[in-house]
């Protein structure tokens, strides 16, 4: 089991045990009246290929290595009416830009973080103003963009291909 797995039931505080549920090992409460099962379903995350003034904006989170830039991402919040609106909110929060729509690119697994990425192309207007989570950003001409071969990088690749580009893959940086 995952090292970060639940050890105690969040409903009744009894120790959890590995049990087969749905053909997979799951952490589950053995107390007869409880029945809690930790399904460990992926967390939904929205991502944006932000297009601003004809270029793509990539950003660097404050916790990332200096050389690593990626798409704008954020968790799908309970209060978000839809993933489409969630990514527009994230673009505003993280870049200070006004989304002019959000066009679905695709969905991508990010197994390392147990996430499912819902990726959108978001044309945006305004002046870039970095939010609290970001340290920096850079602009890239779509014809020169390269992608990282995982999760949000695959969304960038797919969008670039849809635009008629033939992007090259780059090596995955160590986080």
13 Rama class: left (phi>0) / alpha (psi -120 to 50) / beta = left
| Whether residue 79 is found in the same domain as residue 153 | yes
Quote the domain boundaries for residue 25: 1-40
Q: Which residue has the higher pLDDT, 73 or 175?
A: 73
Residue 105 is predicted with a pLDDT of 98
| Whether residue 120 is found in the same domain as residue 68 | yes
| Whether residue 118 is found in the same domain as residue 66 | yes
Q: Which residue has the higher pLDDT, 41 or 48?
A: 48
- Looking up tokens 């053909």 gives 23
Query: pTM, whole model, 2 decimals?
Result: 0.85
* CATH number of the domain that residue 58 is part of: 3.90.79.10
| Whether residue 47 is found in the same domain as residue 108 | yes
Going by C-alpha positions, the residue among 148, 2, 137, 133 that lies closest to residue 56 is 137
Asked, for residue 174, whether it belongs to a domain, the answer is no
- The domain total for the chain is 2
| Whether residue 52 is found in the same domain as residue 34 | no
Q: Are 142 and 168 in contact (CB under 8 A)?
A: no
């Amino acid at each position: 089991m995952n090292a970060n797995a639940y050890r105690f039931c969040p409903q009744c505080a009894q120790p959890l045990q590995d049990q087969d549920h749905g053909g997979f090992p799951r952490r589950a409460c053995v107390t007869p009246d409880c029945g809690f099962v930790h399904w460990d379903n992926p967390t939904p995350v929205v991502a944006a290929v932000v297009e601003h003034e004809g270029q793509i904006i990539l950003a660097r989170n404050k916790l990332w290595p200096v050389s690593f830039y990626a798409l704008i991402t954020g968790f799908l919040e309970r209060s978000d009416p839809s993933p489409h609106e969630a990514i527009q909110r994230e673009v505003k929060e993280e870049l200070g830009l006004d989304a002019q729509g959000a066009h679905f690119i695709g969905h991508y697994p990010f197994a390392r973080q147990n996430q499912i990425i819902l990726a959108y192309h978001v044309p945006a207007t305004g002046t870039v103003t970095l939010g609290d989570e970001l340290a920096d950003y850079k602009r890239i001409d779509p014809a020169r963009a390269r992608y990282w071969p995982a999760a949000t990088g695959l969304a960038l690749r797919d969008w670039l291909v849809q635009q008629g580009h033939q992007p090259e893959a780059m090596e995955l940086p160590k986080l």
